[in-house]
Chains A and B, each alone.
Chain A
Amino acid sequence: MADADRPRLDPDGLDLRAVSRHLTALLTKRVGADQLTLVEDAVQDAFVAALRTWGTQGTRPADPVAWLYRAAWHRLVDQFRRVSHASLDVDAPVSVADPNPLPLAEGHPDAELRLVLLCCHPTLSAESQVALTLKIAAGFSVPEIARLLGAAPDAVEQRLVRAKRSLRQSGVGLDPPRSELSRRSVVALDVLYGMFSEGYASLTAPTGLRRELCVEALRLIHLMLAEPATASPAGHALAALFAFHLSRLDARFDDAGVFQALGDQDRQRWNRKAIAVGLDHLRRSTGGPALTRYHLEAEIASCHAVADSYAATDWTRIIGLYDALLEQWPTRTARLARAVAIGERDGPRAGLAALDGLPGSEGDPIHLAAIARCWERAGEHERAALWYRRALDAASVPGIRRTLQAALRRVGQADVQIEPQTDVGSARVDPS
């Protein structure tokens, strides 16, 4: 065939990370959880083969996903023979030539859900559970995971290898006993909460990878909620929390890349659809036996989501919710947020008093900025400038630094320059 007559390639619309998740889930389901490493290698090999083959031949197969599935299956069979000198022992007879490509387009929630629960096996440490979920269930690469977790790639690799070995040694199957489903689901919620926080709470503009991490956590929680055995009121609370946070994702940075604290955000930019989704989940989160931290955090987030303005926020209710949260889950962040809420309800002097009693302000730009903000609201611009300066000295994230520089200009420090923007993404998330 003359080159010009070849079918044109259209690589758009093929999300390889999604394909990676699907293939890993399907192949693991087929050959067993103890072959996880071989499955991962086979999927990676198939991708590399696609890169080389499609690029060189200048043509993409009509059904690229089926092509990748076949290639991965082929490698898997090949590797299995090499490793064990035996043929692959699968529950269903499969022909190597035609492994009966399954309709992958719609995904395979059951197979993917099993992988999530596998990654959340109780023999693994919390860190390993997160790393493994990111790798196996979410489809991130080792260097990406290392970037996301702030760890060295070698360390992540080692952690994954150990985790998979530990799964293999304890003879873990893909189908956890029914009695264990709820326990694993609880762990899975923790893992997803951690994933989402990594992506969202980093205070860097959630571009690219971090944004994907939030979206991925949301996808996985929906996967769990869709299955009666893994759905729970706590899961709905977590999904509500995700939705409320995601509704504000695009308002957290203005067009100049300046981080916007909650009180400064343009509420017109909040995603109303996401808020509605969050409220719906919140409604379905009641009625369970346990009040989890997700419930309380989602309630707090909902107070903000439904307030017409920062001033009109129900601060009394928020303070009560923080009190309940701190009773069982005392964190520095929650204490700080409670003190800020007191300042909003009772005035800047009360806020300063509440902030004053808290340890750990040293080196925390958010804490220092909260104090500065109270002085600013009290009309004491010189003191405010002093604290904004301290916050700026402690801040390393460009988006936060710009916020503080803007604040300094606002309180009369006209010589302060705002750093140029380098780290803002433009893609939007559809959190429905």
Chain B
Amino acid sequence: MAEYVMMLWENPAAFASASPAEIEQIIKEYVAWREQMGAAGKITGGKKLRDEGGKHLKGGTVADGPYAEVNEIVGGLFFVRAKDYDEAVAIARSCPHLKFGWVELREVEPT
């Protein structure tokens, strides 16, 4: 078994005009997926990154970023357990996140 990280890229404005009813629906979908994958041991954890704040450190400077105004940010992470990339891709493909963002999938170097 290998470990993977799903980085959840998204457009911060993706839901600007979604209705409460639509959001309710997506929450249900998301939560059902998360439960199913968690119970099967495929997703071992997930983290939401805070929308506000964030720092970019380059050279000697520390700058604020990323800004909510940019088109794409990493909004959160899922930790995936799968036997290979094929299985990890299949898991990521079934994630509701793909409906409003995209996923960067990376294998974690075994220690």
Most buried by B among A3, A16, A48, A52: A52
Binds A, one of B41-49, B54-62, B84-92, B102-110: B41-49
Residue of B nearest to A20 (CB): B20
State the Cβ distance, A286 to closest chain B Cβ, in Å. Answer: 39
Contact A141 B22 (CB under 8 A): yes
Contact A51 B75 (CB under 8 A): no
A8 located at the interface, meaning its Cβ lies under 8 Å from any Cβ of chain B in the complex = yes
Which residues of A, 46-78, contact B by the 8 Å Cβ criterion? 47-58, 60, 78
Known: A56-B46, A141-B19. A3 touches B96 (CB 8 A): no
C-alpha gap A54/B39 in the complex (Å): 17
Contact A55 B39 (CB under 8 A): no
Known: A140-B19, A142-B17. A11 touches B48 (CB 8 A): no
Q: Residues 1-40 of chain B: 1 if any A CB is under 8 Å from the residue's CB, otherwise 0?
A: 0000000101000111111111110111011001100110
What residues of chain B lie closer than 8 Å to A141, measured between beta carbons? 17-22
Q: Residues 138-161 of chain A: 1 if any B CB is under 8 Å from the residue's CB, otherwise 0?
A: 011111100000000100000000
Contact A55 B20 (CB under 8 A): no
Contact B20 A11 (CB under 8 A): no
Known: A9-B34, A9-B35. A58 touches B17 (CB 8 A): no
What residues of chain B lie closer than 8 Å to A142, measured between beta carbons? 17
Known: A54-B31, A58-B46. A44 touches B21 (CB 8 A): no
B52 located at the interface, meaning its Cβ lies under 8 Å from any Cβ of chain A in the complex = yes
A14 located at the interface, meaning its Cβ lies under 8 Å from any Cβ of chain B in the complex = yes
Residue of A nearest to B42 (CB): A3
Contact A14 B24 (CB under 8 A): yes
Residue of A nearest to B19 (CB): A141
C-alpha gap A141/B16 in the complex (Å): 10
State the Cβ distance, A8 to closest chain B Cβ, in Å. Answer: 7
Residue from A3, A54, A144 in contact with B30 in the complex, judged by beta carbons closer than 8 Å: A54
State the Cβ distance, B53 to closest chain A Cβ, in Å. Answer: 11
B76 located at the interface, meaning its Cβ lies under 8 Å from any Cβ of chain A in the complex = yes
C-alpha gap A44/B51 in the complex (Å): 14
Contact A17 B75 (CB under 8 A): no
A91 located at the interface, meaning its Cβ lies under 8 Å from any Cβ of chain B in the complex = no
What residues of chain B lie closer than 8 Å to A49, measured between beta carbons? 51
C-alpha gap A16/B15 in the complex (Å): 14
Known: A51-B27, A56-B78. A3 touches B15 (CB 8 A): no
Residue from A48, A57, A143, A153 in contact with B23 in the complex, judged by beta carbons closer than 8 Å: A48
A305 located at the interface, meaning its Cβ lies under 8 Å from any Cβ of chain B in the complex = no
Contact A57 B46 (CB under 8 A): yes
What residues of chain B lie closer than 8 Å to A12, measured between beta carbons? 28
State the Cβ distance, A13 to closest chain B Cβ, in Å. Answer: 11
State the Cβ distance, A260 to closest chain B Cβ, in Å. Answer: 28
Known: A3-B45, A48-B15, A142-B17. A56 touches B8 (CB 8 A): yes
A4 located at the interface, meaning its Cβ lies under 8 Å from any Cβ of chain B in the complex = yes
State the Cβ distance, B31 to closest chain A Cβ, in Å. Answer: 4
Contact A58 B34 (CB under 8 A): yes
A273 located at the interface, meaning its Cβ lies under 8 Å from any Cβ of chain B in the complex = no
Contact A16 B24 (CB under 8 A): yes
Known: A52-B48, A52-B75, A56-B8. A3 touches B43 (CB 8 A): yes
What residues of chain B lie closer than 8 Å to A9, measured between beta carbons? 31, 34-35
A274 located at the interface, meaning its Cβ lies under 8 Å from any Cβ of chain B in the complex = no
State the Cβ distance, A138 to closest chain B Cβ, in Å. Answer: 11
C-alpha gap A56/B34 in the complex (Å): 8
C-alpha gap A11/B8 in the complex (Å): 22
Residue from A17, A55, A60, A139 in contact with B96 in the complex, judged by beta carbons closer than 8 Å: A55
State the Cβ distance, A258 to closest chain B Cβ, in Å. Answer: 28
Contact A143 B19 (CB under 8 A): yes
Residue from B18, B21, B35 in contact with A58 in the complex, judged by beta carbons closer than 8 Å: B35
C-alpha gap A52/B19 in the complex (Å): 15
C-alpha gap A58/B44 in the complex (Å): 10
Which residues of A, 230-260, contact B by the 8 Å Cβ criterion? none
Contact A51 B15 (CB under 8 A): yes
Most buried by A among B24, B30, B43, B97: B24
What residues of chain A lie closer than 8 Å to B47, measured between beta carbons? 56-57
C-alpha gap A17/B19 in the complex (Å): 8
What residues of chain A lie closer than 8 Å to B8, measured between beta carbons? 56
What residues of chain A lie closer than 8 Å to B97, measured between beta carbons? 55
- Name 17 A/B residue pairs within 8 A (Cβ), A-sorted: A9-B35, A16-B21, A16-B27, A17-B20, A17-B24, A47-B18, A48-B18, A49-B51, A55-B31, A56-B34, A56-B77, A57-B46, A58-B31, A58-B34, A58-B35, A141-B20, A153-B17
Q: Give the 9 A-B CB pairs with smallest separation, nearest first.
A: A141-B19, A55-B30, A16-B20, A56-B76, A56-B48, A16-B24, A17-B20, A58-B34, A9-B31
Known contacts A4-B38, A51-B23, A58-B38; 8 further A-B pairs (Cβ under 8 A)? A4-B39, A6-B38, A11-B24, A51-B26, A55-B96, A58-B45, A140-B19, A141-B21
- B-side residues, CB < 8 A to A, are 8, 10, 14-24, 26-28, 30-31, 34-35, 38-39, 43-48, 51-52, 75-78, 96-97
